[in-house]
């Protein structure tokens, strides 16, 4: 049986598959080793004789600490993408995450399914469904 973290990371995998579809040649695999309990992925493809790719780290923290960026950098060094000297670095975070400590060379990708509301991590799609049902019940 999986944990909540497994389920949440599965949503991230689905988002990555939409952004990097296999029909366009993209391959996605879990990173070889990620520290700090964070899930990492490597995405890459070879197209027209060149390689494209990125190291992707998923964080569900409300405030991104410099240590998270260190984990992403370490992952990039320890799990290189063949034939790619300087791959992108992408940090996937829930919406409304405080990302002020993220350097400019790291792309921040907000999740579609999760976000912070005050100090609570919420499943946005589920929240929208509940609000829809509540509004429908009030109008009938």
pLDDT of 91-119, one tens digit each?
999 999 999 999 999 999 999 888 999 88
Sort 84 into a burial class: Cβ within 10 Å, 0-12 / 13-18 / 19+.
middle
Between 80 and 126, name the one with better pLDDT. 80
pTM of the model: 0.82
For the chain, what is the mean pLDDT?
86
For the CA atoms of 77, 12, 118, 3, the dihedral, rounded to the nearest 10 degrees, stands at: -100
Residue 108's pLDDT is 97
Answer whether 59's CB lies under 8 Å from 34's CB. Answer: no
Domain ranges of the chain: 4-139
The proportion of the chain whose per-residue pLDDT surpasses 90, expressed as a percent, equals 55
The proportion of the chain whose per-residue pLDDT surpasses 70, expressed as a percent, equals 81
* 129/122 Cα distance (integer angstroms): 12
Residue 22's pLDDT is 95
Residue 52's pLDDT is 95
């Amino acid at each position: 049986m999986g944990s909540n973290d497994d389920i949440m990371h599965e949503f991230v995998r689905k988002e990555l598959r939409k952004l990097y579809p296999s029909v366009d040649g993209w391959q996605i695999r879990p990173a070889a080793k990620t520290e700090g309990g964070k899930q990492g992925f490597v995405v890459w493809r070879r197209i027209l004789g060149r390689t494209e790719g990125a190291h992707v780290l998923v964080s569900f923290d409300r405030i991104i600490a410099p240590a998270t960026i260190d984990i992403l950098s370490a992952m990039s060094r320890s799990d290189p993408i063949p034939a790619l000297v300087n791959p992108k670095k992408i940090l996937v975070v829930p919406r409304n995450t405080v990302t002020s400590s993220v350097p400019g060379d790291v792309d921040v990708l907000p999740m579609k399914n999760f976000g912070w509301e005050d100090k609570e991590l919420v499943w946005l799609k589920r929240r929208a469904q509940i609000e829809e049902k509540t509004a429908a019940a009030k109008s009938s």
